[in-house]
Amino acid sequence: MVGTMPAPLRFSAFVMNTTSHILHGAWRAPQAHQTDFNSLTHWIELAKTLEEARFDFIFFADVVGLYDDYQGDWKKFVDSGLQIPSNDPLVLASALASHTENLGIAITSSILQEHPFDFARKISTLDHASNGRIAWNIVTSLSDNAWRNFGYDGITKHDDRYAWADEYVDVVYKLWEGSWDEGALIQDKHSGIHADFDKVHKINHQGAHYSVEGPHLVAPSRQRTPVLFQAGSSPVGRRFAARNAEAQFIVSPDPDNARALIEDTRRLTAEAGRNPRDLTFYQGLSFVIGSTEEEAHRKAAELDELIDPSTIIAHSAGGIGIDLGFYDLDTPIGDIRTEGSQSGLLWLREAVPDREPTVRDLAELRSRSGRVVGTPEQIADELARWRDAGVDGINVINATIPGSYVEFAEHVLPVLRERGLAQREYAPGTARAKLFGQDRLPDSHPAARYRGAFAELPV
């Protein structure tokens, strides 16, 4: 009996509407154009390049505040361009949609930054404008500065943020899935009836954080609910992903750790009443590509010369929620208690399993985290290992824009396609249809319980 060929990997381009995103200092390379982030043309041309290469998504990270202080203040962030200035990616989405036909557009938006009623309206509008190609990366914001920017005294406790996120997604699910029944929008010019009043409903949500009457002001888009990404790998974050996400962005240090994380999260997904295969996993990796192994390692050494370790520490420590700027590089991380990103600490301990990690480990490992160096054939070998570990897709981290994506498209993707590791053509339809074969969320997703749920409520 002939076995079924594994599905090809999915690919998304991990970007941010800023100069210095992940590989801090690489923006100084002569061929780096991420300094052009203010230019709409810059992003349109990148989106067209990604679509030509058959990438599945352009995936925008985002923040709404500075990371916590480095060496006592925030000067380091401004000096190095560490995600400041940082522009709103949501504003770019409709322009990118108008210049592409198949590329998914994934937008990070925090529960902190937008009221769910307004956010739901914007996303539905974008899903209409893109003909069903929008995805949402759900985050909770992990810096004190972000929370103070929106009027709070500081960051809400880690587990409380996810309880807040539970209500936030509940509100938008009600709006997207329940406020308008199928067939509500009639637009009958003969009768003059534009929509069927009996099929449009207020949601009358009352919760700990929000009171939303409704109805949703936008008629259903092709997907109704966008494709749902989530990036938290803490125990609470994984449980949230198991209930809600269709794609989880992970940064495991190696395929074995990825396999363990994926298997456990899929177990949680089944416990939540969903099909475990309804949650997919995208590993963050960067690539240094050479025609020979020697050339690849020479290019990796040149990249290391550009990367600023102190900015890497400032970024990583800021996400964790402590100021490591005053510590000696050989200081053990210790048993840190923080309300910041728990997944960052978990990642560091996974990467250094045989001893207590140090600040130096954080700097060195983060600067090379998820880096694959080699020829296109060697890179394909490594990506096969990740797929065998259960990874469904790769979130491609750039050193330079557009160079990192152009090189990957020209040299690596042809080899991947020969091996069945990358798609040759797009499947038809919406972003969700391309990934899962259907436009709408499956009935097992918690959002589906709101379909038809408001028909009997008082108007």
Tell me the pLDDT band of 158, cut-offs 50, 70 and 90: confident
Contact 264, 271 (CB under 8 A): no
Q: How many other β-carbons are positioned within 10 Å of the β-carbon of residue 240?
A: 24
Mean pLDDT value across residues 171-189: 97
Taking only the tens place, the pLDDT of each residue in 94-115 is: 999 999 999 999 999 999 999 9
Q: What is the pLDDT of residue 323?
A: 67
Tell me the pLDDT band of 334, cut-offs 50, 70 and 90: low
**Residues linked to residue 229 through DSSP beta bridges, in sequence order:** 137, 247
End-to-end CA distance of the chain: 59
Taking only the tens place, the pLDDT of each residue in 211-268 is: 999 999 999 999 999 999 998 778 888 999 999 999 999 999 899 999 999 999 999 9
Taking only the tens place, the pLDDT of each residue in 229-241 is: 998 778 888 999 9
**Residues linked to residue 231 through DSSP beta bridges, in sequence order:** none
For residue 61, give the H/E element and its range: strand 57-61
Asked whether the whole model's pTM tops 0.75, one would answer: yes
Q: What is the pLDDT of residue 320?
A: 63
Q: What is the pLDDT of residue 341?
A: 45
